[in-house]
């Protein structure tokens, strides 16, 4: 309901009556004055026409039309009146202000029509000739036989009358405004004497609602108002202690509730949310101020969690389950539900605690995958070694088989040693990056690239693969040369292994304001897009058979990735099947960039 203040209910009616009265007086006075002035003007114009009637009649009877026009102009100029002589057929014979030859037929003018009928006609209208409002009065002229032979029309501008009426209206408006202001002031003062104590009570009530119990209302004014103030003061005394206790309990509960790192949802018996802590709001991307009182079907989008909450409301026992949120980047939430009871042990809903165990599940999966991959990778060479050693025991008499088996054992032993060495290298890089950090110093990138190319040059020549360099000599950065060289050797080795004879491997280095960008591009078989996101994982292989045939351990790209991360950089890959691949390493150029990147990673 739209309620108005008492002040605005008291004086507007009085003010409205005053204004309506003033408006009525103004309209009546203006209409009366206008009618009076128009009547006076009409009488004056008719009197002027009667005064010149004899002279005009004589000139027309004698046929002195040129003299008639001169007399009309002189009389019009002296009297400040426009004079027009019109024949009975409407033709203008003379006019004090215009050339009769240029004037229209006036037989249809209202005042002329009346004059043609023998009376004195008058009319008020806008003159197209003079471009202003005019009053016209026309009287008939008769000859000695009483026959009409001409009409005399006099006219005068109404501009002076309009100005007089305008001045009167302005004066009345000013007076009305003064009276209205005085009436408003008087009404305001009277209303404020009544409404001021009530206003004070309203403001005090608002302060009470805000929790401010200080101060008391003055018990003054009329008997009713003083009694109401006394009742409010008594209420303040009783409410003060109760509110203090409630506020203290609420703050304690909120502090405990907000400090819980697990998500907490509380719902009533009807499935409406009572409260949500910050952890739960972040978990489901909710605004705590907008979810209270809404149903779980409106707020919770996960069907499994909704069913769990409803089951917690129906049962009297504690429940436990694990749910998954999201599909592309799933999160695993361990949920605990139990009935929510009041101090009298009456069920009023349920409380659900949500513990995010995503990191734990991912670590468990990573551990399982790592153990499985390491076991698989180590089992193959170990099984081969064991099998061929057993075969060697039976092939002592055949030197050719003995040498071949020895070669296989040596090859598998080398592969086993390479896997172990790469695992140790990867562990060492991760340990150094997490503890004391890797050693860096400013060096020329071209020297590192040349050293890496020299390490794989013999293999490239054997496979008839050409290596092209586009590395400016002036590019310098804060690096660990042995680690960067190891990463480049791994990328170059892969590029050579998976390229056909006669192709080219290109190494390109450029620098921006923040990074050194190293690219190794080949013209090999390329990689399907589905494999690119996992390409830098440990033991991940696109073509497992070919990778083992080429002697790879499955850890080379993982080592490249962790070397880049240890420098505060990153890796990237672009590939098109059948056209080749481009592997990139982005390394910060200065200590400032490294600190900034490390800060961003911790946020």
Q: Which domains does the chain have, with CATH numbers?
A: 35-158 (3.30.450.20), 260-356 (3.30.450.20), 361-416 (1.10.287.130), 438-602 (3.30.565.10)
Of the candidate ranges 2-6, 110-114, 444-448, 532-536, the one whose mean pLDDT is the lowest: 2-6
The 10 Å Cβ neighbour count of residue 363 is 11
For a pLDDT cut of 70, what percent of the chain falls above it?
77
| Structure confidence at residue 118 (pLDDT) | 79
Distance CA 105, CA 93 (A): 10
Tell me the average pLDDT across 383-392.
63
Q: Which residues pair with 341 in a beta bridge?
A: 347
Structural contact between residues 510 and 517, judged by C-beta atoms closer than 8 angstroms: yes
pLDDT in tens, 275-286: 787 777 777 777
pLDDT in tens, 8-56: 666 677 677 777 877 787 788 778 877 888 888 888 888 888 888 888 8
> Which H or E element spans position 4?
none
Tokens of 582: 């481009």
Whose structure tokens read 């064991």?
A: 386
Distance CA 142, CA 122 (A): 19
Distance CA 457, CA 463 (A): 10
Structural contact between residues 509 and 471, judged by C-beta atoms closer than 8 angstroms: yes
The 10 Å Cβ neighbour count of residue 439 is 11
Segments in 512-555 forming alpha helices (H) = 544-549
User: In this structure, which long-range contacts are made by residues 367-375, counting pairs with CB atoms below 8 Å and at least 24 apart in sequence?
Assistant: 370/538, 373/538, 373/539, 373/554, 374/423, 374/539
Whose structure tokens read 């660990």?
A: 480
How are the residues of the chain apportioned to helix, strand and coil, as percentages rounded to the nearest 5? 55, 20, 25
Nearest of 414, 491, 517, 505 to residue 463 by alpha carbon: 505
| Structure confidence at residue 508 (pLDDT) | 92
pLDDT in tens, 207-256: 777 767 677 777 776 677 778 788 888 877 787 778 778 878 877 777 77
Tell me the average pLDDT across 351-357.
83
DSSP state of 104: P
Distance CA 431, CA 31 (A): 103
Distance CA 265, CA 277 (A): 7
pLDDT band with cut points at 50, 70 and 90 for residue 404? low
The 10 Å Cβ neighbour count of residue 133 is 14
| Structure confidence at residue 520 (pLDDT) | 92
**Distance in Å from the first CA to the final CA of the chain:** 51
Output the CA torsion 311→316→318→320 (10° steps). -20
Question: For residues 425 and 68, which has the higher predicted lDDT (pLDDT)?
Answer: 68
Question: How does the average pLDDT of the chain come out, rounded?
Answer: 77
Of the candidate ranges 323-327, 391-395, 546-550, the one whose mean pLDDT is the lowest: 546-550
Distance CA 188, CA 575 (A): 83
| Structure confidence at residue 559 (pLDDT) | 79
DSSP state of 130: T
CA angle 392, 393, 396 (to 5 degrees): 75
Cα–Cα distances in Å, from 350 out to 96, 260, 274, 280, 397?
104, 17, 10, 15, 81
> Which H or E element spans position 337?
strand 331-341
List all residues 6 or more positions away from 162 whose beta carbon is below 8 Å from its beta carbon.
Answer: 133
> Which H or E element spans position 124?
strand 121-127
pLDDT in tens, 360-383: 777 666 566 555 555 555 565 666
Where b means 16+ CB within 10 Å and e means fewer, 484-505 reads bbbbbbbbbbbbbbbbeeebeb
Structural contact between residues 112 and 123, judged by C-beta atoms closer than 8 angstroms: no
pLDDT band with cut points at 50, 70 and 90 for residue 603? very low
Distance CA 231, CA 237 (A): 10
Tokens of 85: 């002589």
Segments in 109-158 forming alpha helices (H) = 110-116
The 10 Å Cβ neighbour count of residue 419 is 20
> Which H or E element spans position 169?
helix 159-209
Tokens of 322: 């694990």
pLDDT band with cut points at 50, 70 and 90 for residue 3? low
pLDDT in tens, 190-214: 667 777 777 777 787 777 777 676 7
CA angle 420, 421, 424 (to 5 degrees): 85
Tokens of 287: 């605004």
Question: For residues 538 and 80, which has the higher predicted lDDT (pLDDT)?
Answer: 80
Whose structure tokens read 């003033």?
A: 22
Whose structure tokens read 């037989």?
A: 107
Nearest of 320, 328, 276, 327 to residue 298 by alpha carbon: 276
Q: Is 563 helix (H, G, I), strand (E, B) or coil?
A: helix
| Structure confidence at residue 506 (pLDDT) | 92
| Structure confidence at residue 186 (pLDDT) | 74
Range with top average pLDDT, 142-146, 165-169, 542-546, 592-596: 165-169
Question: For residues 532 and 184, which has the higher predicted lDDT (pLDDT)?
Answer: 532
Tokens of 569: 């950089």
Tell me the average pLDDT across 182-186.
75
| Structure confidence at residue 583 (pLDDT) | 92
Phi, psi of 437 (to 5 degrees): 85, 155
Nearest of 525, 574, 572 to residue 546 by alpha carbon: 525
Cα–Cα distances in Å, from 521 out to 209, 465, 530, 562, 573?
72, 13, 19, 20, 10
Tell me the average pLDDT across 550-574.
78
| Structure confidence at residue 197 (pLDDT) | 76
């Amino acid at each position: 309901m739209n309620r108005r203040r008492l002040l605005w209910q008291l004086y507007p009616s009085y003010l409205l009556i005053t204004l309506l009265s003033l408006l009525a007086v103004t309209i009546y006075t203006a209409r009366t004055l206008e009618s009076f002035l128009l009547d006076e003007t009409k009488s004056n114009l008719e009197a002027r026409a009667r005064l010149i009637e004899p002279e005009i009649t004589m000139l027309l009877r004698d046929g002195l039309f040129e003299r008639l026009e001169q007399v009309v102009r002189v009389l019009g100029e002296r009297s400040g009146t426009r004079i027009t002589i019109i024949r009975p057929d409407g033709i203008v014979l003379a006019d004090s202000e215009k050339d009769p030859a240029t004037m229209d037929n006036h037989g249809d003018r209202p005042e002329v029509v009346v004059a043609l009928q023998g009376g004195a006609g008058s009319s008020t209208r806008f003159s197209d000739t003079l471009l202003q409002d005019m009053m016209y009065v026309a009287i008939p002229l008769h000859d000695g036989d009483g026959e009409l032979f001409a009409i005399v029309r006099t006219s005068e501008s109404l501009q002076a009358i309009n100005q007089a009426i305008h001045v009167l209206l302005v004066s009345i408006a000013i007076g009305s405004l003064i009276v209205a202001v005085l009436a408003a002031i008087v009404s305001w003062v009277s209303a404020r004497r009544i409404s001021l104590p009530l206003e004070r009570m309203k403001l005090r009530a608002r302060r009470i609602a805000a929790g401010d119990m200080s101060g008391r209302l003055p018990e003054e004014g009329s008997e009713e108002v003083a009694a109401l103030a006394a009742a409010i003061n008594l209420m303040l005394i009783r409410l003060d202690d109760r509110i203090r206790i409630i506020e203290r309990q609420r703050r304690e509960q909120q502090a405990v509730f907000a400090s819980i790192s697990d998500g907490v949802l509380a719902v009533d018996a009807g499935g409406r949310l009572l409260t949500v802590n910050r952890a739960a709001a972040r978990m489901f991307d909710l605004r705590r101020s907008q979810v209270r009182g809404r149903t779980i079907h409106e707020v919770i989008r996960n069907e499994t969690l909704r069913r769990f909450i409803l089951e917690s409301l129906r049962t009297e026992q504690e429940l436990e389950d694990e749910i998954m949120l999201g599909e592309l980047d799933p999160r695993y939430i361990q949920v605990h539900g139990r009935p929510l009871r009041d101090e009298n042990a009456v069920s009023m809903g349920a409380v659900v605690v949500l513990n995010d165990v995503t990191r734990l599940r991912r670590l468990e999966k990573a551990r399982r995958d790592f153990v499985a991959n390491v076991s698989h990778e180590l089992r193959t060479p170990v099984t081969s070694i064991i099998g061929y050693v057993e075969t060697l025991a039976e092939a002592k008499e055949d030197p050719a088989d003995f040498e071949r088996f020895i070669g296989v054992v040596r090859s598998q032993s080398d592969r086993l040693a390479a896997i172990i060495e790469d695992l140790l290298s990867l562990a060492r890089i991760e340990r150094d990056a997490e503890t004391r950090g890797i050693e860096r110093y400013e060096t020329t990138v071209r020297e590192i690239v040349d050293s890496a190319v020299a390490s794989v040059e013999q293999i490239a020549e054997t496979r008839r693969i050409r290596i092209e360099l586009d590395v400016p000599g002036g590019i310098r950065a804060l690096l660990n040369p042995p680690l960067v060289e190891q990463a480049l050797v791994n990328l170059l080795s892969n590029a050579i292994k998976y390229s056909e004879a006669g192709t080219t491997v290109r190494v390109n280095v450029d620098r921006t304001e923040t990074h050194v960008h190293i690219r190794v591009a080949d013209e090999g078989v390329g990689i399907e897009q589905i494999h690119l996101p996992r390409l830098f994982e440990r033991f991940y292989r696109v073509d497992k058979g070919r990778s083992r045939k080429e002697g790879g351990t499955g850890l080379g790209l993982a080592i490249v990735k962790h070397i880049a991360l240890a420098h505060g950089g990153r890796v990237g890959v672009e590939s098109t099947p059948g056209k080749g691949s481009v592997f990139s390493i982005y390394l910060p150029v200065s200590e400032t960039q490294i600190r900034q990147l490390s800060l961003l990673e911790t946020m």
